[in-house]
Amino acid sequence: MNNAEIADLFDQLADLLELEGANAFRVRAYRSAARTIDSLADSLADLVAEDPALLQELPGIGKDLAGKIVQILRTGGLEPLDELMQRIPADVVTMLRIPGLGPKKVAILFHELHLKSLDELKLAAEQGLISQRKGFGKKTEESILEGLQQLASTGTRLYLADAKPFADRIVAELLELKSVEQASSAGSVRRRRETIGDLDVLVAASCSDEAMDYLAGHPLVEKVLARGETKQRVRFKPIPRCFTPDGNRVGLEMDMRVVPEESFGAALQYFTGSKEHNVVTRRLAQQRGLKLNEYGLFRGEERLPARTEEEIYAALDLPWIPPELRENRHEFAWAEQSDRPALLELADLQGDLHMHTTATDGTASIEEMIEAARSRGRKYIAITDHSRRVTMANGLDEARLRAHWREIRKLREHYSDIDVLCGIECDILEDATLDLPDDVLAEADWVIAVLHYGLKQPREQIRKRLLAAIRNPHVHLIGHPTGRLIGARPGAEVDFDDIFKAAADEGVMMEINAHPARLDLDDIHARQARDHGIPIVINTDAHSPHGLDLLEWGVYQARRAGLTRQDVANTRTSKEFRKLLR
């Protein structure tokens, strides 16, 4: 298990302890440990392998917590958490996922109103019983009903960032088996969709038994659901902090198919999808007197070369099409270009222009974030803590912000290999004004304007707010433009045509926020922004050094949009990037 997964278990344990009314000091200890672990650059697994006693040198990690970390690494679980999950009804645990319902409020619903299921919660909200309790109101009831509706529509899909590591690990280990000649993920993971329903892995092997036996006995696998001669379906053990709507932790499922090597290319193309893309490729094959399916490529009874996807696409008079593009949107037009541009690569990015420090809700200091960025090869960054409107994140007012910038300017003088910009993530208020006055914003090197509140306002008011920010001469970027949280909170209703036209006219950039829960802009609107000539900036929105590793997921989103390094502003050198600023 990685650091983030261990931190998630401690966070979840703190939530359930608080729900049960446990000692506040104990709850804070687990939350503090989670923050320490999440911001740690070194792998806990590596520390334990070197010497478990090293854990106790970490801030807030004593003997008891160190023992629990070792237990998690050895077993994949946390005994006190499992015990709480047995005592607390699954639906009550799920209530913690409803926006606005923290452990204290869920405790009231559970212990005082005796609500033990989502159906009971819904009925109580509809009947107005919840708003009668102190600390609740009509808005809370409305949020509960909306949150329940959102949970029901989320299903069991996981973030790509949660699901992909499972596929990567299985594929890497399959390739070590003697009988396995090739192996690859397929399906929506290979296409890098935002969310994943289940996993698909394809194997070319001389015999299927070794691969299937390996998967059946894998320590991550909870149960073999089905096994045939060429296909096996398994369910993995529950993933921390990933839940189905009924409150159970998600057991991600995987289909593994074993094919002969001569069919691997055709099978990989077929099982990667999408269905819409494959409809077109099959039609192109028919137009050439061929038959294409998961078993191979045929001309009549003759089997044609199909060991690689390149051979399949060449037979259709096409170049190999990157999996991220295979949605039957613009990939075939891309393939027809004589000078096809290469899609963006992670290595193309030189800067990261959205991150937070302990000045607001980050877990690391300015210097620690600079050092973490340098260690990852970044050539420039922007420190962009929150403006004052975000009170829950200890947002900065004018005086604190100016003092914060003075500290940044002083520290950056010590670095010659990284350019550090004084930035701010400034809220666009509900009345279409910015959270800080122009004379303050004018002092910034870099201003991100964002929507955090009032996301349910009418489309016209959202349009007014975004246009006001775009037309402010000090704003450089619209960050996470819709404000959505995938599967948890729908974004604002944005008039993208008008917004993109204005941004293009004013020279304002648009963000792909790389956090797996945001990925905002999505791939469709990122493409639309590109078509308007708007430079895209891919940022991590990191709140810890560990968060600086999230760029990968933003790059996948950009690739699905068909973006190249020329379309993305932070592929440029620091000097070139600064020339783009208004």
Mean pLDDT, rounded, for 401-428: 97
- The pLDDT of residue 152 is 65
CA dihedral 331, 333, 339, 343 (to 10 degrees): -20
Per domain, the residue ranges of the chain are 1-85, 89-154, 158-336, 346-580
Report the alpha-carbon distance of residue 133 to residue 112 in Å, rounded: 10
Is the distance from CB of 359 to CB of 400 less than 8 angstroms?
yes
Average pLDDT of the residues of the chain: 92
CA dihedral 404, 397, 39, 15 (to 10 degrees): 160
- The pLDDT of residue 239 is 61
Q: CATH topology for 89-154? A: DNA polymerase; domain 1 (1.10.150)
346-580 placed in CATH 2.40.100.10: no
Report the alpha-carbon distance of residue 16 to residue 20 in Å, rounded: 6
CB atoms within 10 A of CB 138: 11
- The pLDDT of residue 156 is 63
The answer to whether residue 542 scores a pLDDT higher than 90 is yes
Mean pLDDT, rounded, for 401-414: 97
Weakest mean pLDDT among 61-65, 99-103, 248-252: 248-252
The answer to whether residue 155 scores a pLDDT higher than 70 is no
The answer to whether residue 523 scores a pLDDT higher than 60 is yes
**Nearest-5° Cα angle at 183, 159 to 240:** 30
CATH architecture of structural domain 1-85: Orthogonal Bundle (1.10)
Instruction: Strands of 461-576 (E only): list them.
Output: 477-478, 509-513, 536-539
The residue whose two tokens read 């917004």 is: 499
- The pLDDT of residue 373 is 98
Query: What helix, strand, coil percent values describe the chain, rounded to 5?
Result: 50, 15, 35
DSSP 306: -
Per-residue pLDDT of 305-359, as tens digits, reads 999 999 999 999 999 999 999 999 989 999 999 888 899 999 999 999 999 999 9
Burial class (CB in 10 A: 0-12, 13-18, 19+), 466: buried
Mean pLDDT, rounded, for 379-388: 98
Mean pLDDT, rounded, for 254-276: 95
Mean pLDDT, rounded, for 515-540: 96
- The pLDDT of residue 204 is 97
The answer to whether residue 536 scores a pLDDT higher than 70 is yes
Question: pLDDT exceeding 70 applies to what percent of the chain?
Answer: 96
- The pLDDT of residue 151 is 67
The answer to whether residue 119 scores a pLDDT higher than 60 is yes
- The pLDDT of residue 323 is 98
Mean pLDDT, rounded, for 361-387: 97
**Peptide linkage before 274 cis (omega within 30 of 0):** yes
Mean pLDDT, rounded, for 422-433: 98
Mean pLDDT, rounded, for 110-128: 91
Instruction: Name the β-bridge partners of 254.
Output: 199, 234
Report the alpha-carbon distance of residue 307 to residue 172 in Å, rounded: 20
Per-residue pLDDT of 489-511, as tens digits, reads 889 999 999 999 999 999 999 99
- The pLDDT of residue 244 is 40
- The pLDDT of residue 487 is 79
Q: What φ, ψ does residue 28 adopt, rounded to 5°?
A: -65, -35
Report the alpha-carbon distance of residue 525 to residue 70 in Å, rounded: 44
Of the candidates 261, 259, 264, the one whose C-alpha atom is nearest the C-alpha of residue 230 is 259
The answer to whether residue 260 scores a pLDDT higher than 90 is yes
Of the candidates 374, 469, 461, 460, the one whose C-alpha atom is nearest the C-alpha of residue 426 is 469
Report the alpha-carbon distance of residue 428 to residue 82 in Å, rounded: 42
The answer to whether residue 270 scores a pLDDT higher than 50 is yes
From residue 550, give the alpha-carbon distance in Å to each of 16, 216, 405.
28, 32, 25
- The pLDDT of residue 246 is 39
Q: How many CA atoms lie within 13 A of 6 on its CB side?
A: 25
- The pLDDT of residue 43 is 76
- The pLDDT of residue 510 is 98
The answer to whether residue 240 scores a pLDDT higher than 80 is no
Class of domain 158-336: alpha beta
Same fold, 1-85 and 89-154: yes
From residue 412, give the alpha-carbon distance in Å to each of 14, 173, 230, 440.
38, 44, 58, 20
How much is the pTM? 0.79
CA dihedral 189, 192, 196, 198 (to 10 degrees): -10
- The pLDDT of residue 474 is 98
Report the alpha-carbon distance of residue 94 to residue 12 in Å, rounded: 11
